[in-house]
Amino acid sequence: MEKREFLIPGGTGRSFIIKKGEFLKVIDVEGKQVADFIAISLDKRDEYLSTAHTRTMNGRLFVTKGDKLFSNYRHALLEMVEDTIGVHDTLYPCCDPQRYKLDFNVENHKNCRDNFAEALKEYEIVYGYIPDPLNLFQNSPINHDGTFAAIVEPESKPGDYVVFKALSDLIIGISACPQDMVPTNGYSITDIKAEILNSI
């Protein structure tokens, strides 16, 4: 089994290409670390993983094993074939400079949107064209009345993971979320690891 590995140090982002038929394993190395995850078509840069379309095509708010992840053209881009945790978020945008400024009165804090902009620069994908992410391992409960409950610590333990099968050639971006002011990452920013496999 061939394998390529990418370590995403806590608070930073990486990008890489995955080809149709390959498998992508995203691992929470130490536990309780959110991985903001985006996918963009390698051949058609205006097509990307859309959490909104994924919700409507699957008929529910969250994703888990067996679900497909759909694009803004309603094409299936990925299939989640393994999931050891089953708790992920499709509702929140990635953190950005304005989030820290408005909510915490903090400027120049590391954030996922800047991480993606830096990681995707080589593919000429700029800040304003970064899609909303699938937030792997993020624990974002919803109240019965439809309002957001407070974000709580992830349930993921060291070594928990998801595996996706690529259904087309994709540019993948992953940010090991640097949010340390609320329990999003258990107040401790740690690493995410990605492995590209030709089989599982």
Sheet holding 161-166: strands in order across?
A: 3-8, 192-197, 23-28, 161-166, 76-83, 68-70
C-beta separation of 25 from 195 below 8 A: yes
Query: Taking 80 as the threshold, does the pLDDT of residue 193 lie above it?
Result: yes
* Average predicted confidence (pLDDT) for the chain: 96
Classify 163 in phi/psi space as left (phi over 0), alpha (psi -120 to 50) or beta: beta
Give residue 189's pLDDT. Answer: 97
How many residues in total does the chain contain? 200
- 79, β-bridge pairs: 68, 165
Alpha carbons within 13 A on the beta-carbon side of 140: 19
The residue extents of the domains of the chain are: 3-197
Query: Taking 90 as the threshold, does the pLDDT of residue 2 lie above it?
Result: no
Query: Taking 80 as the threshold, does the pLDDT of residue 1 lie above it?
Result: no
pLDDT tens string 16-32: 999 999 999 999 999 99
- The model scores a pTM over 0.85: yes
pLDDT tens string 58-100: 999 999 999 999 999 999 999 999 999 999 999 999 999 999 9
Give residue 151's pLDDT. Answer: 85
Tell me the mean pLDDT in the region 145-162: 94
- Look at residues 57, 88, 97 and name the one whose alpha carbon lies nearest to residue 151: 88
Look at the block and give the residue holding tokens 């058609």. 44
